[in-house]
Structure 1
Amino acid sequence: MAHIPIEAVPYLESAIYLPMLLIVLEKDYELIEKGPFKLKRPYVHLIEEAKKLAENDLQNTKSYLRKHSLKVVQGERDELFTEYHFYYQQIFEVRRYSNIRLRNRVEELLDSYLTRALKAHSVFQKP
């Protein structure tokens, strides 16, 4: 039985996680904009930079998927699991992800992208 190429799985999973990350960043951005922060600009800039990085990575992911005839479609969902359908040429594969795993991975990505954004635009960078 043929399977999805193993090197394609990180791209397929990025197509799952990055849109979730962008939703979290957008909601956090809105909360900061509306919130009682005294100095909003640093937080807003950090989130905007993280969004740019994530959007760029998502664009690269989508490009890879198109180039290699790959597709991801969300399937059924319940309180514990969400299934995703992976398509590659004539191959169809269903993978179930724990909703807790999805949340934890998005949280890891959030930390990673905020760290990258901070490094990219830090006031304390050495010249």
Structure 2
Amino acid sequence: MKRVLIVDDAIFMRMKLKDILEKNGYDVVGEAQNGVEAIEKYKTEKPDLVTMDITMPEMDGVAALKGIKEINSAAKVIMCSAMGQQSMVMEAIQAGAVDFIVKPFDSDRVVESLNKASK
């Protein structure tokens, strides 16, 4: 079972993603509400996959992605973005994100992205 860390500053989004993932056989091992927490949780939980919101307080998703990649260059991080954040999505892909999913979440798209990333 793949272990996933969910990072989003909105509790509703974390709950929604957790629900989708658990129904599809993923083990949600942790949640973080900003990039600083994400890096700490990544170190302690060592998840197989991370879903990372782009826009968050304290440290945004792109900076957190870079921090996680410094810990583990093979880390698999999937960015989550609202519409209209294309430039940040491109920056995240260049920084090593494996995919991105757009909010509001489409369950099938989320599962497809995680399945693809976990191969």
Band the TM-score falls in, shorter-chain normalisation: under 0.3
Superposition TM-score, scaled by structure 2 size: 0.26
Q: Which has the higher contact order (CA 8 A, sep 6+)?
A: 1
**Greater gyration radius:** 1
Instruction: Give the TM-score, by structure 1 length.
Output: 0.25
